[in-house]
Amino acid sequence: MANRLAASTSPYLRQHADNPVHWQEWGPEALAEARERDVPILLSVGYAACHWCHVMAHESFEDDAVADAINEQFVAIKVDREERPDIDAVYMRATQAMTGAGGWPMTCFLAPGGEPFHCGTYYPKPQFLQLLQAVTEVWRDNRSAVVDGGAKIADDLRALADVGAPMPIDEARLADAVGQLRLDFDPRRAGFGSAPKFPPSMVLEFLLRHAARTGSERALAMAEATCTAMARGGIYDQLAGGFARYSVDAAWVVPHFEKMLYDNAQLLRVYLHLFRATGSELARRVVTETAGFLLRDLGTAEGGFASALDADTDGEEGLTYVWSPAELAEVLGPDGVAAAVLLGVTAEGTFEAGRSTLRLLGEPPEQWPAWRAALLAARSARPQPARDDKVVTSWNGLAIAALADAGALLERPEWVAAATRCAEFLLAVHVVPQTSGSRLLRTSRDGVAGPAAGVADDYGNLAEGLLALHQATGERRWLDAAEAILATALAHFADGAGGFFDTADDAETLVIRPRGLGDNAEPSGTSALAGALLTFSALTGRWRAEADAAIAAGGEVARRDARFAGWTLAVAEAAAAGPVQVAVVGTDEVAEEMVRLARSSTSPGLVLAYGPPEADAQPAGGDAAPARPHPLLADRPLLRGGSAAYVCRGFVCDLPVATSADLRGALDASTAVGH
């Protein structure tokens, strides 16, 4: 027996390919070996950018004594949580139930059937060796109790998976959620709760949508204060753009330094919508810099986006990013003193060993662009963090949506082009056409798809991205691709009560069939699909009932804790607003200006279709048959021979307008309906 991770498509698993531990990937062969050898399974779950995963690997998994203990008494399985979120979800729920907390690396001991009987997270080497010995002894001496206990835990997990009865989210509940968030809001440092503080991306989107629909100054103030505090804090990379995973303190000063694609894609969209609502130049700058970070640092040769940059550089957390006053002076000369004041770099340091993260403590002077360029060039000469270059379908869907929206609103065609290239890559490599619909694969690396099947959020977030790209480009192919993906999700993931399981009905059977209970770092499968279904229904007239049912499926979580239902609430805001539908018929400069105006509207979830009148639609791909009319454009003629805009809800439209000024008035009136 030997380590069998070398051929994995997961960079995280490949990091462990040289361990003396006889790791193998999760699969029927590993489970069969545990049954044949009659030994328990050691399941270790982590991800490539995880600091404490690296620590435990260096301390324990690279150690021969630890490896000998594991290899002799266990079947060792290593799982990349980002590649197999279904496995991670099952055993994280067990870990939290047993210990009251969770995290990575996650360390679980399972019976050969997969039932967990002891779970934890990081263990220092001495404690880990003791734990291995204790589990070995209890398996040898008290097997029946272990097996019975594991079966009982599995039963308890099935009971915990109950998400409660559907609960529609009406306008009163949306207002209650804002009240809940106000109680959790940190009025001095912004954000919600105390340390550690995570970027509350989906909650911020909800607050911006609520403010747009209702005029709530309180909701807008919480969103704007949090965005400003993060953008000026150490959690934001002041030199290269992009956000770190979270702040270890309550004031956004010191981040946990890994940079995740899903965070940055969602935050790019949030800051774009803050700029749209307020005109904030800080928000616009963050959008521009974060888009630059995505394209420059996470873009792959094939057109996708890599998952993350590591927290560590050469085994030291933050090595690439922190500065001392002397290092600033070395790069900037006499300006180093002023830069240190602006960036919060002190002799004592805000991080470790007299070094500081960079914050923006004041308005940048006119020299700032030159300082920033010089500091970034100097930092680029330092050792750099490793990159996890696997491409995750779900997170790339979020990136497509963000870049398409931002490129369209800010008229940056290169961002829309990047979103288009990413979508083309995903549809070519991550989609497996089958008789039962378009099935998704979860990941790829270097253009080669991995074996893991897509989960519900892959379907929801990719459909969301394709629908945003359709609205940014006007191209019908993206709407059609989203339709195929959503049809598959409805056929294979629905739970019968409006929500969605994380895994398909024909997926591998785990101890429980996982189902996300709320929005966490990214939308749950149910809320991701709810959002995409709502947008699709507004564009086409199909699946509105399914969208409303999916929103209601998250209603109980939203009632209990709004912080863990951010995207559910954001989608519910769009549903409460209509969503507003705008159809612009025509191709001249007047039509182009009306499209720009529609994109600038803050109405939650507004959808846009534009193009020539139905009679002038050209065949698709050179076919002789006429192109199918867009549902929002069908039967919507020009107005007195000129371009026209129609503002609608549920395909019931106001009278068409022929000027941008009239469209602005119609949109303002439509938004005011919710106030």
| pLDDT tens, residue by residue, 192-242 | 999 999 999 999 999 999 999 999 999 999 999 999 999 999 999 999 999
pLDDT given for residue 155 in this prediction:
82
Query: What whole-number distance in Å separates Cα of residue 321 and Cα of residue 327?
Result: 12
DSSP-derived letter for residue 500 is B
Task: Report which of 98, 101, 7, 15 is spatially closest to residue 50, judged by C-alpha positions.
Answer: 15
pLDDT level of residue 615 (50, 70, 90 thresholds): low
Give the pLDDT mean for 501-512.
93
pLDDT given for residue 438 in this prediction:
81
Give the pLDDT mean for 13-26.
95
Give the pLDDT mean for 56-79.
96
- Predicted TM-score (pTM) of the model is 0.95
pLDDT given for residue 494 in this prediction:
97
Query: What whole-number distance in Å separates Cα of residue 97 and Cα of residue 93?
Result: 6
Residue 62 has pLDDT above 50, yes or no: yes
Give the pLDDT mean for 325-351.
97
Give the pLDDT mean for 177-201.
96
Average pLDDT over all residues of the chain: 93
Pairing relationship of beta strands 106-110 and 580-585 according to DSSP bridges: unpaired
Query: What whole-number distance in Å separates Cα of residue 538 and Cα of residue 521?
Result: 27
Q: What is the 3-state secondary structure of 142-208?
A: CHHHHHHHHHHHHHHHHHHCCCCCCCCCCHHHHHHHHHHHHHHECCCCCCECCCCECCCHHHHHHHH
- The two counts, helices (H) then strands (E), for the chain are 25, 20
pLDDT given for residue 614 in this prediction:
75
Residue range 88-133, pLDDT digits in tens: 999 998 998 888 889 999 999 999 999 999 999 999 999 999 999 9
Residue 52 has pLDDT above 60, yes or no: yes
Query: What whole-number distance in Å separates Cα of residue 218 and Cα of residue 221?
Result: 5
Query: What whole-number distance in Å separates Cα of residue 14 and Cα of residue 27?
Result: 17
pLDDT level of residue 144 (50, 70, 90 thresholds): confident
pLDDT level of residue 671 (50, 70, 90 thresholds): confident
pLDDT level of residue 617 (50, 70, 90 thresholds): low
DSSP-derived letter for residue 497 is S
pLDDT given for residue 143 in this prediction:
84
Residue 29 has pLDDT above 50, yes or no: yes
- 255, 385 Cβ separation under 8 angstroms: no
One DSSP character per residue, 558-606 reads: HHH-GGG-HHHHHHHHHHHH--EEEEEE--SHHHHHHHHHHHT---TT-
Question: DSSP strand E in 398-468: where?
Answer: 431-434, 437-440, 443-445, 448-449
DSSP-derived letter for residue 502 is S
- Burial class of residue 270 in the structure, from the number of CB atoms within 10 Å of its CB (0-12 exposed, 13-18 middle, 19+ buried): buried
pLDDT given for residue 672 in this prediction:
62
Task: Report which of 385, 393, 311, 323 is spatially closest to residue 356, judged by C-alpha positions.
Answer: 323
Residue 84 identity: R
The β-bridge partners of 584 are 610, 645
Residue 675 has pLDDT above 70, yes or no: no
pLDDT given for residue 616 in this prediction:
63
Task: Report which of 400, 408, 176, 433 is spatially closest to residue 305, judged by C-alpha positions.
Answer: 400
DSSP-derived letter for residue 115 is -
In this structure, is the dihedral angle defined by the CA atoms of residues 335, 341, 344 and 345, taken in order, positive or negative?
positive
Pairing relationship of beta strands 75-80 and 41-46 according to DSSP bridges: parallel
Pairing relationship of beta strands 259-260 and 255-256 according to DSSP bridges: unpaired
The β-bridge partners of 185 are 192
**What separation in angstroms does the CA of 580 have from each of 41, 166, 216, 662?**
53, 25, 19, 16
Residue range 552-581, pLDDT digits in tens: 999 999 999 999 999 999 999 999 999 999
Residue 620 has pLDDT above 50, yes or no: no
